[in-house]
Structure 1
Amino acid sequence: MGKLEERENRRKSVIGSMIERTETLSAVGAGGRGRPKEDRELKRRISLSVLPSLYEDIQKIAYMQRKSVSELVAGMMVEYRESHKEVLDEYDKLQKIK
């Protein structure tokens, strides 16, 4: 066997042991590390396209209110959803018919 083949065999064995180790950790579930998972709704990351001037003004408002732009937008979305409850109810009725 040449030196290149020996080196390649050693590399394969090292990588193989690394893969086996990660598989065993994932099978065990990395038990007990970190905080226990809570049963709550997680936020979804989305992308919006807005005019730069509008975004700059929203950033200024957020700064003055000591909030993030994300908090402001989320609050506006909650208000919008609450003001359109009847539309959501109608949507739910239509989806149940199908």
Structure 2
Amino acid sequence: MSTIAVGSTVMAILLAAPSNAYPSTGALLVPDDITPGYYWANPTDSTGGYVEVCSDYTCDVSGGMIENYSVDGRTMIPIPDYARMVNVHYAALSPAGV
């Protein structure tokens, strides 16, 4: 019986989100919540995810949006030094080891 409990614990640890992953939905402030650099985005929903990198807090298409990404599979997301916010919708971001 204890072997099964240990096996379940090990499996739960293996399936847990990496400690360096960011929330899969929400607004992240740069550099307070997320630092500039390169990140992998992986969709967390069967319909895919979406990421916006913004130079201001309004993130208007005609002004503050630096770039937007549809995340249908593993996607590289660069966050430049001049970014101020990253909006994430159903995509897990994790730092890309360089």
TM-score in terms of structure 1 length: 0.23
Higher normalized contact order (CA 8 Å, seq sep 6+, divided by chain length) = 2
Task: Name the structure with the higher strand share.
Answer: 2
- Point out the structure with max Rg over C-alpha: 1
TM-score in terms of structure 2 length: 0.23
